[in-house]
Structure 1
Amino acid sequence: MELFNVAVHQVQQLTEHCAESKLLLTAAVLAPLSIAFFIFTFVAPRNAPPSLWDPIPYVFNTIQFAFNNERFMVRVANILQNSRIAKFHLVSTPVFLVSGPENIQTLFARSHKVGNETIFLENVFPALYRMSKDEKQRFADDKSGRGRQPAPGTEHMPAHQRYWHGYEHVHSEYLSRAQHQRPMAEQFQTFIAAALDKHFPPGLAAKPETVSVMDFCRRHVAEAAVKTLLGPRIFELFPDVLDAFWEFDSNICLITLALPKWLFPGPYRAQERFYTIIRKYLAATYTDDAFDSVAAEADQDGWNPKSGARVSRELVKWLKTSGFQDEVAVGALAMLMFAMTSNTIPIVMWMMIEITRDPSLLCAVRDEVAQAYISQPGKDAASRTLDLDKLSTMPFLQSVFAEVLRLHMNFNLMRNVNEPIAVEGFTLPRGSMLQAPMKVAHYDETVWGAPGHAAAQFWAERHIKYEETADADGSVRKVPVFAMAGRPSSFFPFGGGQQICPGRHLAKHEIFTVIALLVSKFEIEPLEWTNTDGSPSLRAARGDPRFSGIGAMPPDRDLKMRWTRIG
């Protein structure tokens, strides 16, 4: 799944010898940079793509990619302005950065020439799923691919040994298909509506309250999402689960890099704290005596309070029946929770910020949401629920959603080159890596720019067009219609191809539900920007650079709002 593709290929080779790297770094810094410049300028082969300048060959770019990704991506954007392919090294691995719709389609193609299996085997599975060498080897030995049909030459592989397909099937089947997704979306609506009623109760006594966007999203929205996924019992057992999760979330990149524990103990402590909670939750929910009965619930499409959504039960069941150790199930559920929370919450924050800062946009979204409510027969107006299918088609909501994703999702799509391939007239060798920088594609002025609205700026109507329609009385009026301003190959916040994020539809339902409930139940007025420590900020929020290259970049400033309950 694309959300896990933040792992940096072969950086482990550098960090396992951190002491030696420090010595090399010190020596190299003292050496004249002109020597390196001379080598790269005059010795590099002329039939190769342009290279990012690397003043300390194999070291400088690797360190900047991992630890100052925002600055690294500025350099990448600059070089890709003049060439649709560029090269650098992550330690010893040649990496080819590409832009342009045709080149990005190379990453999405259903071909065995490129894939992300090596990234999982070398980084994700050992660091985040905590697989043993033997367990990783099962995946390494499986050459049949992720698809329903095994790859040519592997047709006789037993189904239970097709680990890539089994892993992919659990996530795509039980997160993407409507019959499994709908109970989750409906349950999320129940949870978030209940949270609003509890913490901001309706009634004549409702008074204005000052609310932090960050605090609301990281607490109440995240709690509703986790309850939907794993059931409310996890909060009964471990009230501090969200604190542990957000600490883990802020350290996941360093954990994935497999930095030496003795040098960077903090990220590992954060991981162990969070994984201990998941481990105890699993032990309490899937005991040996209860496993069969809980796993049997996997035959039901609905949500249940003991184990949450079916995807969670199916994931545990598949790992158990496939013979993986319990610790792998811990990592798998931890990463499922990460995938369904880490990117969703920052996008909710940005949508709240952008909609409430523009009174006309807030009115337009509120009018749309009013059309999506369903009244329950024989019940009062307070019992109305949202028609999620109708809500997801509202043009302004969709346009704001697409614009926020375009501006604030930021990671490189990564694929290993399994067989030599031709890109931009160059042959990329086996063992190299192909990356498509999302920020370059999403900020392309030729694709997204419009008069008076630069690609780097938020514009709520960038993906809106107006069409004429005739009313019943024959009068003609213009109505807004959602229409993406760019081509799909220039917009890929959820990845693409066979590895596209399977939870994208559920994430959209959850995000739209939060916004719909807020604009319909509250009068909302933005008050002031603050720093994360609560002190006043002199500027508006930008994407937090600490999350560059990881996924959704949350705002680096908080917005305080005044809410008054009206419904």
Structure 2
Amino acid sequence: MESINGLVEPVRWLSEGSLKPPAIASFTLLVAFLVFTTQRRTPPSLFDPFPLFFNTVQFIFYNARFMTRVSKALNKSSIVGFRLFTTPVYIVSGPEDIQAIFSRSHSIGSEDIFEKNVFPVLYGMTKDEARRFAEDKTGRRRQPAPGTEHVPIERRYWFGYDHVHSEYLGRPQHLRPIADAYYKRLSQSLDKWYALDKWTTVSVTEFCRHQVAECAIVALFGPRILELSPELIDAFWEFDSNIFALTVALPRWLTPKAYRAQDRYYGMIRTYVDAARKNFDWNGPAAEAGWEPEFGARVTRELVKWLKEAGFRDEVATGALGMLLFALNSNAVPTTMWMIIRIVEDPSLLQAIREEVTTAYVTDAKTGSSTLDLDKLVALPLLQSVFTEVLRLYMNFNLIRFVHEPVTMQGFTLSRGCMLQAPMSIHHRDGAVWDRKGHSASEFWAERHIKHIEETDETGRITRKRVFAAAARPSSYYPFGGGHEMCPGRRFSKYEIFTTVALLVLKFDLEVIGWVKPDGTPSDRPARPDDRYSGVGAMPPDRDLTIRWKRTS
């Protein structure tokens, strides 16, 4: 405003003819510069017919429509702003801006949304407990941020919290016991649920939401949790359907259903935590076990242990484990649905996947027993390509970061406290990045992430071999987030999904019956991503595929 006001007097001189031609030229350049810099001061804003209300409501409750508007706006500018309540938000799409969000810079991070929304609402932290994280400026990495090296390790809350997850969900010696527990549970359950050589009609949605989820819960938390709370799976999915309202911290009076779902779900988690603490011998031989029946995976008891030692209340351990289960299953289960659907609806792809998975089936020379080599399984190229393609098309989340120190993007200076969002739905379907001859970015193509190479065997015969190759740079594909804040559970989720698909194609003959609507009536179209989950994560199919299968082994 001051720049514009400063033009008033020179304009008067110009109108009176007081300025000479050289001065007029200089004045013209000054006007152009001031107008340009004034216009460039803030990014263009998404139209809001009811300021602070319309865009906020549409973002929260009608996110798919909101993102359609954003997509059109980003065609004109690679950065677009709006207000989420009173918080300035900037949605960015430039590759260099995405890389800046992923960088290890201390000027951008996701801590604010945890401190303001996630920790108080979803972890049940008091203001004092959340403040411990807010006041911890040492960062998440092992090396503390410059100037904070003096902070003792026990007060490095961000590092301690992240370390438990990255250590016990990421390192092979801790990850494999969870993956093995899932494989064992699902394999035994399939043999129990489905008789040999008998055709059974199956809903893909119900199979994944209940039977796959059950095995994943047992692999992570042990069998006691479902014995104590048989309705946990139903409570989990009710909580899952209300998570968005909780994440943005809408008040209880506005969304009472969401908080009732949370109370029910967390009550069951608390019952499990109390029982596990009572029955587990912290000084016994199981204290270092990768998996045991009370807590299940080591990550769960290490998280409970760290929170206790760090001085947090028992309610926080309940919230932390509730969110751990949510984070590992809410995306893995819908992704498994799409994996099964895309494979079984294409007979040639089903056959190719079955042949590939067979190569990961190994027989013990001593015992003669056969089992899946899980490490070999998750490295299979075609299965990886299908997995990557499913995540590209159906993972829909706006990666969120906050600006801790002013940053410049696309010539705009973004102030401290504003929110940055990087939308997967736009980058994952960008035709300029993903279009291939005969296969547009909007369609599923199983081999989009495959390269074929020629190999010569011992006899001189030349064969073509599939090799998995990511088809785009990280700024165009980031289903697990990016930088040092990537989802720590992504490795177990991959084991879970690949193991499920492998066991189905190995154990069963599979046939498609047809698509049905949520009410069970026949559908005249295949499934599309369910828009109600836009912005939340993996979008499940809005139609169910009914198949029939016969267990053959």
Verify same fold: TM over 0.5: yes
Q: For the structure 1 residues 341 and 547, does the alpha-carbon distance in structure 2 shift closer, same or farther, using more than 3 Å as the test? A: same
Query: Are 1:556 and 2:549 an aligned pair?
Result: no
C-alpha RMSD of matched pairs (Å) = 1.5
* 1:248 alignment counterpart: 239
Choose from 531, 536, 557 the match for 2:517: 531
Cα shift at 1:299: 4.5
Cα shift at 1:249: 0.6
Contact 2:89 2:418 in 1 (8 A): yes
Instruction: Tell me the secondary structure at the aligned position of residue 143 of structure 1.
Output: coil
Once the two structures are overlaid, the 10-residue window that deviates more, 521-530 or 476-485, is: 476-485
* 2:407 alignment counterpart: 421
Query: Are 1:190 and 2:178 an aligned pair?
Result: no
Query: Are 1:275 and 2:269 an aligned pair?
Result: no
Q: Which amino acid aligns with 2:254?
A: L
Instruction: Tell me the secondary structure at the aligned position of residue 90 of structure 2.
Output: strand
Query: Are 1:104 and 2:95 an aligned pair?
Result: no
Moved over 4 A (4+): 295-299
Instruction: Tell me the secondary structure at the aligned position of residue 175 of structure 1.
Output: helix
Instruction: Tell me the secondary structure at the aligned position of residue 138 of structure 1.
Output: helix
Instruction: Tell me the secondary structure at the aligned position of residue 430 of structure 1.
Output: coil
Distance across 1 between alignment mates of 2:374 and 2:271? 34
* 1:46 alignment counterpart: 39
* 1:462 alignment counterpart: 448
* 2:421 alignment counterpart: 435
1:236-284 Cα distance to aligned partner (Å, 9 max, x none): 1111110111111111111223323233221111111111101111111
Cα shift at 1:296: 5.9
Contact 1:295 1:313 in 2 (8 A): no
Query: Are 1:332 and 2:325 an aligned pair?
Result: no
Q: Which amino acid aligns with 1:46?
A: Q
Distance across 2 between alignment mates of 1:505 and 1:282? 25
* 1:210 alignment counterpart: 201
Q: Which amino acid aligns with 1:158?
A: P
Contact 2:399 2:422 in 1 (8 A): yes
* 2:310 alignment counterpart: 322
Contact 1:295 1:317 in 2 (8 A): no
Q: For the structure 1 residues 86 and 295, does the alpha-carbon distance in structure 2 shift closer, same or farther, using more than 3 Å as the test? A: farther
Q: For the structure 1 residues 422 and 183, does the alpha-carbon distance in structure 2 shift closer, same or farther, using more than 3 Å as the test? A: same
Distance across 2 between alignment mates of 1:79 and 1:534? 39
Contact 1:183 1:301 in 2 (8 A): no
Query: Are 1:284 and 2:270 an aligned pair?
Result: no
* 1:20 alignment counterpart: none
Q: Which amino acid aligns with 1:181?
A: L
1:443-483 Cα distance to aligned partner (Å, 9 max, x none): 01011011111101101111111111101111212111111
Q: Which amino acid aligns with 2:43?
A: P
Cα shift at 1:297: 6.3
Distance across 2 between alignment mates of 1:483 and 1:379? 37
Distance across 2 between alignment mates of 1:451 and 1:438? 23
Distance across 1 between alignment mates of 2:403 and 2:325? 30
Distance across 1 between alignment mates of 2:286 and 2:150? 28
* 2:133 alignment counterpart: 139
Q: For the structure 1 residues 82 and 354, does the alpha-carbon distance in structure 2 shift closer, same or farther, using more than 3 Å as the test? A: same
Cα shift at 1:122: 0.6
Cα shift at 1:492: 0.2
1:96-133 Cα distance to aligned partner (Å, 9 max, x none): 11113211011110011001111001100011000001
* 1:367 alignment counterpart: 355
Structure 2: unaligned runs, 5 residues or longer: 1-34
Distance across 1 between alignment mates of 2:94 and 2:134? 32
1:368-424 Cα distance to aligned partner (Å, 9 max, x none): 1100011123445xx421111111111110000000000000011111001011111
1:493-518 Cα distance to aligned partner (Å, 9 max, x none): 00011110111111101100000000
Cα shift at 1:556: 0.8
Structure with higher Rg: it is: 2
Instruction: Tell me the secondary structure at the aligned position of residue 260 of structure 2.
Output: helix
Query: Are 1:342 and 2:306 an aligned pair?
Result: no
Query: Are 1:67 and 2:53 an aligned pair?
Result: no
Distance across 2 between alignment mates of 1:407 and 1:280? 38
Distance across 1 between alignment mates of 2:501 and 2:443? 21
Instruction: Tell me the secondary structure at the aligned position of residue 97 of structure 2.
Output: helix
Query: Are 1:504 and 2:490 an aligned pair?
Result: yes
Taking structure 1 as the reference length, what is the TM-score of the superposition?
0.89
Instruction: Tell me the secondary structure at the aligned position of residue 206 of structure 2.
Output: helix
Instruction: Tell me the secondary structure at the aligned position of residue 292 of structure 2.
Output: coil
Contact 1:179 1:301 in 2 (8 A): no
Q: For the structure 1 residues 190 and 420, does the alpha-carbon distance in structure 2 shift closer, same or farther, using more than 3 Å as the test? A: same
Cα shift at 1:201: 3.0
1:71-82 pair list within 5 angstroms: 71-82=65-76
Instruction: Tell me the secondary structure at the aligned position of residue 416 of structure 1.
Output: strand
Distance across 1 between alignment mates of 2:257 and 2:431? 40
The count of residues paired between Structure 1 and Structure 2 equals 517
Query: Are 1:117 and 2:117 an aligned pair?
Result: no
Distance across 1 between alignment mates of 2:160 and 2:378? 30
Q: For the structure 1 residues 133 and 298, does the alpha-carbon distance in structure 2 shift closer, same or farther, using more than 3 Å as the test? A: farther
Distance across 2 between alignment mates of 1:144 and 1:299? 30
Q: For the structure 1 residues 438 and 566, does the alpha-carbon distance in structure 2 shift closer, same or farther, using more than 3 Å as the test? A: same
Cα shift at 1:152: 1.1
1:396-415 pair list within 5 angstroms: 396-415=382-401
Distance across 2 between alignment mates of 1:125 and 1:110? 23
Distance across 2 between alignment mates of 1:323 and 1:298? 24
Taking structure 2 as the reference length, what is the TM-score of the superposition?
0.91
Instruction: Tell me the secondary structure at the aligned position of residue 528 of structure 1.
Output: strand
Contact 2:286 2:292 in 1 (8 A): no
Contact 2:79 2:94 in 1 (8 A): no
Instruction: Tell me the secondary structure at the aligned position of residue 473 of structure 1.
Output: coil
Once the two structures are overlaid, the 10-residue window that deviates more, 299-308 or 316-325, is: 299-308
Cα shift at 1:165: 0.5
Percent identity between matched residues is 57
* 2:143 alignment counterpart: 149
* 1:55 alignment counterpart: 49
Distance across 1 between alignment mates of 2:126 and 2:365? 55
Q: For the structure 1 residues 506 and 369, does the alpha-carbon distance in structure 2 shift closer, same or farther, using more than 3 Å as the test? A: same
Distance across 1 between alignment mates of 2:464 and 2:484? 39
Q: Which amino acid aligns with 1:125?
A: F
Cα shift at 1:50: 2.0
Cα shift at 1:185: 0.5
1:188-232 Cα distance to aligned partner (Å, 9 max, x none): 100110110110133xxx211100001110111100100011000
Contact 2:235 2:264 in 1 (8 A): yes
Distance across 2 between alignment mates of 1:218 and 1:441? 28
Q: Which amino acid aligns with 2:338?
A: W
Instruction: Tell me the secondary structure at the aligned position of residue 397 of structure 1.
Output: helix
